[in-house]
Amino acid sequence: MSKIFCTFVHKFDNNMKKTFVLCAMGAMMTVSGLLGWGSQAMAANTKKNKAMSVQRVEPLNWWTCMKCPLTLMVYGNDLQDATVTVSASEHSDKGTMHGGEKGLIIKQVRKADSKNYLFIDVDVRLAGTYTFTLKNGKKKTTFQYEVLERKVSNCIRESFSSKDMIYLLMPDRFRDGDPTNNTVAGMNEPCKKGYIHGRQGGDIQGIIDELPHIKELGATYIWPTPLTWSNDTNFSYHGYACADYYHIDPRFGTNDLYKEMVQKAHAMGLKIIMDVVTNHSGIEHWWAKDLPYNDWWHRFWNDEMSASLNDELKEVYVGTNNAFTTVYDVNASQYDRKVNEEGWFDHHMPDMNLDNPDLLQYFKQLYIWWIEWAGIDGLRVDTYPYNEKDPMSQWCKAIREEYPWINIVGETWTRPANQVAYWQSGTKNMDGFDSNLPAVMDFPTEEAIRQALENDGNYWGGGMAKVYDALTADYLYGDVNNLLMFVGNHDMDRFADVVKDNDPRRVMIGHVLIATMRGIPQMFAGDEYMQRSIDRSTGHSGLRQPLPTEGELTEQQKQVYEQMKTLWNWRKNEPVLWSGKTMHFLARDNTYAYVRYNKEEAVFVFINASEETRTIPMAHYQEILGQYAPTGVMPLEGDKTFDLRKDSEAAPLSYVIVKTHK
């Protein structure tokens, strides 16, 4: 893939009164010409340039032997009535004819509602560089498009599973590895270090610099929140209001640096998950002022208002009602279902209409492109239940048909368990719906762990009984080992903030639970140091703070880190924790015991979440432990011997882990 560079050009639009950015492609880039960047740039470019022109083509390139059909979205000026032909470029050594067969065939050219778009369905047969010619009377313009040979290595890889530990980080709030890109001329929001809601300068280079730390901790996967271009005036650091899906935000780095990060992670035995946002784009997306179709976004306002998309829009937009149950509730009204699926996530995050077939195809190609181009290893889908469920099922199916090995986890932020299980493929839903989504996030168990440790738990149904109850719903899921397990993430208060007395012992209990129960554990960056929010009253911004440096750590934080490192590195070598069965035991004294087991070995876990010493009643557990050797070892305590037939005591707020075998 050729390199991409950005030229930042300051222009002034009298209507919008804002600075904007233009992106140009390098000389070797497959799509020629100037790319208009930003909604203002698009509007200004269209008005001032009357000649037919092509300014942007997506996907940026493609490959041979792909199962997903290819549709080019071509944007420019006055393209709607153009005829399109294609030929091999003169400098291409592979081209139009090979064995009597064309290398790239135009199947169909389709108009959009905007006169500035064309959608071109093509049949890809041979690698090469192709020239597309667009004509309308005397008007003519061309662009080049590159088709590469597909890498066999991308067809047979391994994705994240229950044997992994995923390390979640927010790039802007992680580590500033390159201060020179903190503020980029022409972009709406500069770096504001010290301002809790502003950009802090974290970037891809910072992630690369911290790869040794992540590896040492025992993580095997890294999940950065979105790194693609975001151009909101405020809060752009989180990245979920995308303004260009095919390019990395220059304040984070470049497309090439992103690929370099993936490659360096792979070299260290780490893999990368890309954060996917299909439900909404940002209001500053480059297509905002000139949507391809009138129904590209869901519209809850009148035509006059939608024509301007000015500040008044913020007063009339309809937000989602978050009523995920409407998609399967037999008593739900069509109105409530419509607002859930079509309401905007926020006023600056327009809701995408995945019922539009070209938009759905756009998102299929988009993430296939990133997997193929950058070599990423898995996907996480943001706000999954807000999407239209049937198009998203088709999206998941298309991704997994292209990459049968890949895992995809959806953010299914709802409760109770039956509402989460509905979204996991393989669940036996009464309406017959199958999402084709392999993994979901286990919010019910996350909630149970937090509630169990936020107080002393000395009440009926409190404490560890909540965790026990959460696992009683496992029968609902299509695959319990494909549940994402966590005690905190970037959208909720820090775990160390919510546990009673901010006690490091409670912090460790939470992580022991997600490390030893079924599913795929995920840690939020900073939790290895029991990091706390800088100011809980500020909401998300207060908890999303940069990773502490070595000099900022307290002795207590260093001790917690050593315990975390021991726990997670031990888990990497225990297959019984990845795929073993579970038998758990109820107690009403704020303790919890369970055994992860298979035919050859078992891991016994006893949690004492009470503030008193508790007896471990080993006789209670013999129906399963009696099948294994009478003694085991405590792997987190130097393989100290433990008698599995004799009662012992557990200190307040402690855990006991014992490994045994047949």
Active site residues per annotation: 382, 411
Q: Rounded CA gap, 281 and 297, in Å?
A: 9
User: HEC states along 219-262?
Assistant: CCEEEECCCEECCCCCCHHHCCCCCEEEEECCCCCCHHHHHHHH
Of 286, 239, 232, 235, which is closest to residue 258 (Cα–Cα)?
A: 239
Find out whether the peptide bond into 292 is cis, omega within 30 degrees of 0: no
What is the Cα–Cα distance from 342 to 320, expressed in whole angstroms?
7
Answer yes or no: are the C-beta atoms of 280 and 288 closer than 8 Å: no
SS3 for 425?
coil
Residue with tokens 């999402």: 435
Helix (H, G, I), strand (E, B) or coil at 169: strand
The SS3 assignment for 282 reads coil
CA distance 511 to 417: 21
> What tokens appear for 545 in the block?
């703070």
End-to-end CA distance of the chain: 53
Neighbours of 107 (CB within 10 A): 11
Q: Are 343 and 300 in contact (CB under 8 A)?
A: yes
Q: 3-state DSSP call for residue 11? A: coil
What token pair was written down for 99?
A: 């064995």
- Helix spans in 375-442 (H): 389-402, 417-421
Cα distance between residue 389 and residue 326, in whole Å: 11
Neighbours of 612 (CB within 10 A): 13
Greatest CA separation for the chain = 92
DSSP H or E run through 452: helix 443-453
CB 497 within 8 A of CB 533: yes
Q: How far apart are CA 107 and CA 257, in angstroms?
A: 35
The alpha carbons of the chain give a radius of gyration, in whole angstroms, of: 27
498 backbone φψ class: left, alpha, beta (φ>0; ψ -120 to 50): alpha
Cα separation values, 372 from 377, 393, 485, Å? 10, 21, 28
| E strand spans, 314-406 | 378-381
Cα–Cα distance, 126 to 646 (Å, whole number): 70
Q: How far is CA 47 from the centre of its chain?
A: 37
| Per-residue tokens: 528 | 């290895």
* Amino acid at position 658, single letter: V
The upper half-sphere exposure of residue 547, i.e. CA atoms within 13 Å in the direction of its Cβ, equals 27
CA distances in angstroms from 581 to 162, 602, 614, 635, listed in the order given: 13, 9, 26, 20
Instruction: Confirm if 120 and 74 have CB atoms less than 8 A apart.
Output: yes
Q: Where are the beta strands (DSSP E) in 268-401?
A: 271-276, 378-381
Residue 235: other Cβ atoms inside 10 A: 18
Distance CA 340, CA 337 (A): 5
Residue 36 pairs in a beta bridge with 22
Q: How far apart are CA 125 and CA 106, in angstroms?
A: 11
